[in-house]
A and B are shown apart, each in its own frame.
Chain A
Amino acid sequence: MSRLPRGVRDAVLAVTLVFVVGSIAMLVAHASPLVGFGALFSGALGSPSELGETLVQTTALLFPALGITIAFRAGLFNIGAEGQLVLGGLTAGYVAAALPLPGVAAIPIVLLAGALGGGVWGALAGFLKARFGANEVIATLMLNVIAALLATYIVNGPFKMNGATAGETASIPHGSWLPTLIPDTRLTIAFIIALIVAALVRFMLARTVFGYELRAAGDAPEAAKRAGVDLSRTALVAMSLSGAIAGLGGAAIVLGVLHRFNTALSPGYGFIAIAVALVGNLDPLFVTIAAFAFGVLQSGALSMQSEAQVPKDVVAIIEGVVIIALAGRRYFSRGSDR
């Protein structure tokens, strides 16, 4: 085992934990793990439409996980993907419902609006860090809650849209929905966009000067600083980019899945995405694979609940334990930075 690369060891550990923790939880619920996991996997992968739903979940996790990957590689603990995703969705929902542009022309603008909304939210934490040295962990945690409250206020308060139900924006005209990939599923080209973003992030980290500086700032901030890397600027840009990708994910859910913004847009995608990014060893290629694995868990949970009488929350327990188990890696040399 110890000869294997770290990433492979982490993946093996994660998969083992999924089955061990899941089985224990199922046994506690007096359910057979065989039946439970059987229902989970067949519910996630058993038919084209089920696979489609799994890829919907994969997409929803992949965007924030890629954002988190960028921030973590830069040595910044962005725990705020959840808030960035929500604000991206909120911005996208408003722009999409209010935009006079018909049909497909609106799509790129709405996606950009989502990226902008999430990006601003990420940039806020980046700015507080770069300008005032405010710890980004606490800042992003606070910004998560503020984002949720802000969204609730905007949607229900004075900016409530005509014809919208509580907690939602008005629905988006059918013509501007993202085109589906598999008929009669919720799987849209958002999945393809997520894969393209993954490829771009990988290229950016591995092949560009900024990617190099970003990794240097994460791996050895002191050395990077002496070599001329502007740490403040790197933090600001990395957090903005991180938030923008999470926000793009929010916009993709709005345009492709819900066709409106809803305050219950995310069942914690931004937090589960932390596990996705860690299981994927902070490498966009493996993060993509990890997003699929977690997508299977997310989408199979409901069939497991209905067919094997295992409460779907077992998935959250599994995800939490996997995160704890993968907290062992020293991500970067963090000094005291508050």
Chain B
Amino acid sequence: MDAAFALLVLTLIKATPLLYASLGGVLSERSGVVNIGLEGMLVAGAFFGVVGSYASGNAIVGAICGVLAATLLAALFAFVVTRFALDQIVAGTGINIAAIGAAAYGLVIVFGQPGASHEVAALGRAGEAVLIGFAIVLAIVLQLVIDRTPWGLRVRACGENPAAAAAAGIDPLRTRFIAVTIGGAVAGLGGVFLSLGELDLYSDGMTAGRGFIALAAVIFGRWNPLGALGASLFFGFFAALQYTLQRSGVPSELMQALPYLAALVALAGFAGRVRAPAADGVPYVK
């Protein structure tokens, strides 16, 4: 029983950063912007969360800094892919490379050492639990917002057919900008969870490709917040299981590969029909 409970807790801990990142991804993609830069936004949240906490001595101030940094990065990405109609895939790849490089650079500048930051004031057990709970609530709220509110309808319209949305008086560029930016803020919380919730420091490579697993979760969750919740829990469960099974001889690499394999299977249509928003990834030009 204790083991099962421990596995459940670990599943939630492993699922939470994926959930934040994939919710950010869902919001962005439903508006028609593929956000490859989620990994970079996790990095921004995680790194600046620690920097903020280090500078202020307060973990909550740190968390706010982390979210703000990820929001700014997302706003920059959103700006260039909407106003300049830059290619979303290429720009997102650049965001990742620049963000990971900037965090490595920043470690040396702020903490005077490469590799990892000092230990800083963290959110602690209570803060971790709050962030886990908030992620789940957020998934439900976002599902309702996307399905049931006028703003959600506008976001979906821009993701499916921006020209028609524009004809109906919606500004697709503005709507996409807002959706991607809010999505970045949400993804930033995932980064904060990693550095200040699970741990109390930032180290190079700590996001470990979670931004890419989140992209997989978006697809596996069929571009729905609740689907992303299910996919994140599924992936989180296998990540947790990997710790539990570490000594049982099941190779951890194969377990780690599971989310990615699952996403490939889903992409290829083996898990039922998967359909992205029709205008997902297509720049809109007035």
Using a CB–CB cutoff of 8 Å, the interface residues on chain A facing chain B are 25, 28-29, 77, 79, 128, 131-135, 137-139, 141-146, 149-150, 152-153, 157, 268, 271-272, 274-275, 278, 311, 313-317, 319-331, 334-336, 338
Q: A157-B251, A320-B96, A320-B99 are in contact. Are A338 and B280 (CB under 8 A)?
A: yes
- B95 at the binding interface (Cβ < 8 Å): yes
Among B269-286, those with CB < 8 Å from A are 269, 274-276, 278-283
In the complex, per-residue mask of B194-216: 1 if CB is within 8 Å of any chain A CB, else 0:
00000000000000010010011
- Does the CB pair B104–A274 fall under 8 Å? no
The residues of B that contact A268 with a CB separation of less than 8 Å are 97
Whether A134 lies near B114 (C-beta < 8 A) is no
In the complex, 14 of the A-B residue pairs with CB atoms within 8 angstroms, ordered by the A residue number, are A29-B109, A79-B36, A133-B269, A138-B263, A145-B212, A146-B261, A153-B251, A157-B251, A313-B102, A316-B105, A319-B97, A320-B99, A321-B94, A328-B86
Q: How far is the CA of A274 from the CA of B100 in the complex (A)?
A: 16
Q: Are B263 and A327 in contact (CB under 8 A)?
A: no
Contact of B105 among A132, A149, A313 (CB under 8 A): A313
The residue in A28, A149, A157, A321 that gathers the most chain B C-beta atoms within 10 A of its C-beta is: A149
CB distance from A322 to the nearest CB of B (A): 7
B260 CB-CB contact with A under 8 Å: yes
The complex places the Cα of A326 from the Cα of B87 at a distance, in Å, of 9
Contact B100 A149 (CB under 8 A): no
Q: B90 within 8 Å of A by Cβ? A: yes
Q: Chain A contacts of B91 at CB under 8 A?
A: 323-324, 327
CA distance A327 to B79 in the complex (A): 13
The answer to whether A28 touches B109 (Cβ under 8 A) is yes
Q: Are B87's CB and A316's CB within 8 A?
A: no
> Is the pair A29, B87 in contact by a Cβ cutoff of 8 Å?
no
Q: Contacts A268-B97, A324-B95; is A149 near B276 (CB within 8 Å)? A: no
CA separation between A316 and B260, bound complex, in Å? 26
Q: Are B34 and A278 in contact (CB under 8 A)?
A: no
On chain B, the residues within 8 Å of A313 by CB distance are: 101-102, 104-105, 108
B151 near A: Cβ within 8 Å?
Answer: no
4 shortest interchain CB distances as A-B pairs? A320-B98, A316-B101, A323-B94, A324-B94
Q: Say yes or no: A138 contacts B256, CB within 8 Å.
A: no
A320 touches B101 (CB 8 A): yes
Closest chain A residue to B98, Cβ basis: A320
- Contact assessment for B267 and A327 in the assembled complex, using a CB-CB cutoff below 8 Å: no
- In the bound complex, how far is the Cα of B267 from the Cα of A135, in angstroms? 7
Question: Nearest chain A CB to B94's CB is how many angstroms away?
Answer: 3
- Are B87 and A331 in contact, CB atoms less than 8 angstroms apart? yes
Bound Cα distance A311, B102 (Å): 10
- Let me know if A146 and B105 touch, CB within 8 A: no
- In the complex, whether B253 has a CB less than 8 A from a CB of chain A is yes
| B101-A274 in contact (CB<8A) | no
**Max chain B CB contacts within 10 Å: which of A275, A315, A317, A328?**
A317
Note all chain B residues with C-beta closer than 8 A to A25. 105
Which residue of chain A is the closest to B219 with respect to CB atoms?
Answer: A138
Q: Give the residue among B90, B253, B261 with the most A Cβ atoms within 10 A.
A: B90
A-binding residues in B (CB < 8 A): 34, 36, 80-81, 84-91, 93-102, 104-105, 108-109, 114, 209, 212, 215-216, 219, 251, 253-254, 256-257, 260-261, 263-264, 267-269, 274-276, 278-283
Partner of A320, one of B86, B87, B97: B97
| Interface contact A311-B282, CB-CB below 8 Å | no
Tell whether, in the assembled complex, residue B104 and residue A272 are in contact, meaning their CB atoms are under 8 Å apart: no
Q: When chains A and B are docked, how far (Å) is the Cα of A210 from the Cα of B239?
A: 44
Identify 16 new A-B residue pairs, CB closer than 8 A, beyond the known A135-B276, A311-B114.
A29-B109, A79-B89, A138-B216, A138-B219, A139-B264, A142-B261, A146-B257, A149-B257, A271-B96, A274-B93, A313-B108, A320-B101, A327-B80, A335-B282, A336-B282, A338-B280
In angstroms, Cα B251 to Cα A315, docked, is 35
CB <8 Å contact, A79 and B263: no
A328 neighbours in B (Cβ, 8 Å): 84-87
Q: Give Cα A153–Cα B256 distance, bound, in whole angstroms.
A: 11
A145 touches B98 (CB 8 A): no
* B251:A319 contact, CB within 8 angstroms: no
* Contact residues in A for B80 (Cβ distance below 8 Å): 324, 327
CB contacts (< 8 Å) of A326 on chain B: these are 90
Q: Contacting B90 at CB < 8 Å: which of A153, A274, A311?
A: A274
Known A-B contacts A128-B267, A150-B257, A324-B95; A145 and B90 likewise in contact (beta carbons under 8 Å): no
Across the interface, B34 reaches (CB within 8 A) one of A134, A137, A275, namely: A137
Chain A residues positioned under 8 Å from B93 (CB to CB) = 79, 271, 274, 323
B101–A141 contact, CB under 8 A?
no
List the B residue with the shortest CB-CB distance to A337. B281
Distance of A135 Cα from B104 Cα, bound (Å):
31
Which residues of A have CB within 8 Å of B98?
316-317, 319-321, 323-324
Residues of B within 8 A of A324 (CB): 80, 86, 90-91, 94-95, 98
Q: How far is the CB of B144 from chain A (nearest CB, A)?
A: 25
The reply to whether A317 and B212 form a contact with Cβ atoms under 8 Å apart is no
Question: Within the assembled complex, what's the spacing in Å between the Cα atoms of A135 and B85?
Answer: 20
B76 to chain A: closest residue by CB: A324
Neighbouring A residues of B215 by C-beta, 8 Å:
138, 141
**Chain B hits for A143, CB < 8 A:** 260, 264
CB distance from A67 to the nearest CB of B (A): 15
Whether A149 and B87, one on each chain, are in contact in the complex, defined by CB atoms closer than 8 angstroms, is no
Smallest beta-carbon distance B242→chain A, Å: 11
A108 to B278, CA, bound (A): 46
Asked whether, in the complex, the Cβ of B264 is within 8 Å of the Cβ of A142, the reply is yes
**Contact of B253 (CB < 8 Å), options: A29, A152, A329:** A152
